[in-house]
Amino acid sequence: CSFFLFLRLLFPGSLGRVVMLVLFLTLMFLYTSYSANIVALLQSSSSHIKTLEDLLHSRIKFGVHDTVFNRYYFSTATEPVRKAIYEKKVAPPGTTPRFMTMDEGVIQMQKGLFAFHMETGVGYKFVGKYFNEGEKCGLREIQYLQVIDPWLAVRKDTPFREMFKIGTKRIQEHGLQYRENRLMYEKRPKCSGGGSNFVSVSMVDCYPALLILSYGAIVALFLLGLEILMHKREKILQKLSCLRHENYK
C-alpha cells in the first residue's frame, strides 16, 4: 500500500492512476501465470520411481493379486530387494499379508499411492473399467517377475532340432507371436486425457471449509464483543478513579 501511495505522490493526477492500473494488471497476470505453473507441476505425473529399489524406499503401499503362484513366488523370493519388498510392504510382521482380489487392488491403485502386482493382460480390463481417462495417463509399469520365454522340449539328438529353432525364430520375427498375444491379452488402455483430470467442486465438498469459516466468524464476533466490554469497563474504572482523586482533593 505504501508503495502505491508513493506512486500516487510521484505521479499525481491521471498519470498516476494509469501507472497504478498498469502495475495492478501486470501483477495480476504474473500471479495467474505463477499459479497455473504450480497447478501444472502438481498435475504432472512423477517419474521418480523407476526401479524396484525406488519402490521399496517410497511411501507407496504395495498389494499383490491373490493367486497360488504369487503367494509362493513372493514368500520364497531370495533376491534382496524382492525379499525386502515382501517383508516390509506385502507381509510386514504382525499384519495380514496384502494379497487381494483384482477389483480391490485396482480400486486401491486408482485412489493413489498404491502399487499393485497383477497380470497385465487381465488387469488392464479392470483398469479400463474403474479408471477415468485422465487417470490412465498416470500409470507406470515395473517388471517384477524374473521370468524367461518358454522353451520347446525336443528329444535329444533329434533331426528336427534345427527345424524347430528356425521355425520359432520366424514366428517371432514375422510378428505372429505378437499378434496372438494381442488377441489373447488386453492391451494397455490408451491415454486420451492428456494427463489432466478436472473434478467439479460443489457446495457439499466445500462444507468443512465453510463450517470452519462460520465458526471463525462467530469466535471473532465474540472476541470483538468481549473487547468492547473490556474497553467500556476500563473507561468506567478510569472515570471512577478520576472521581476518587477529585474527592480526595
Q: What is the pLDDT of residue 15?
A: 64
What is the average per-residue pLDDT within 70-93? 90
Least confident among 40-49, 53-62, 129-138: 40-49
- Residue 117, classified by CB atoms within 10 Å of its CB into exposed (0-12), middle (13-18) or buried (19+), is buried
The structure's pTM equals: 0.55
Q: Tens digit of pLDDT for each residue in 163-177?
A: 888 888 888 888 888
Tell me the residue type at 83.
Answer: K
Asked if pLDDT for residue 204 goes beyond 70, the answer is no
From residue 99, how far is each of 60, 122, 130, 131, 184 by CA, in Å? 16, 16, 19, 21, 25
Alpha-carbon Rg for the chain in angstroms: 34
Pick the CATH number of 52-148+162-184 from 3.90.550, 3.30.70, 3.40.50, 3.40.190: 3.40.190
First vs last C-alpha separation in the chain: 50
- The residue that leads in pLDDT, 158 or 195, is 158
Q: What is the pLDDT of residue 9?
A: 55
Instruction: Enumerate the domain spans of the chain.
Output: 2-43, 52-148+162-184
Q: Tens digit of pLDDT for each residue in 211-237?
A: 888 898 999 899 989 989 988 888 888
Least confident among 36-50, 124-138, 178-192, 232-246: 36-50
Which of 235-241's residues contact partners 24+ apart within 8 Å by CB, and which partners? none
Q: Among residues of the chain, what percentage have pLDDT more than 90?
A: 15
Q: What is the pLDDT of residue 201?
A: 57
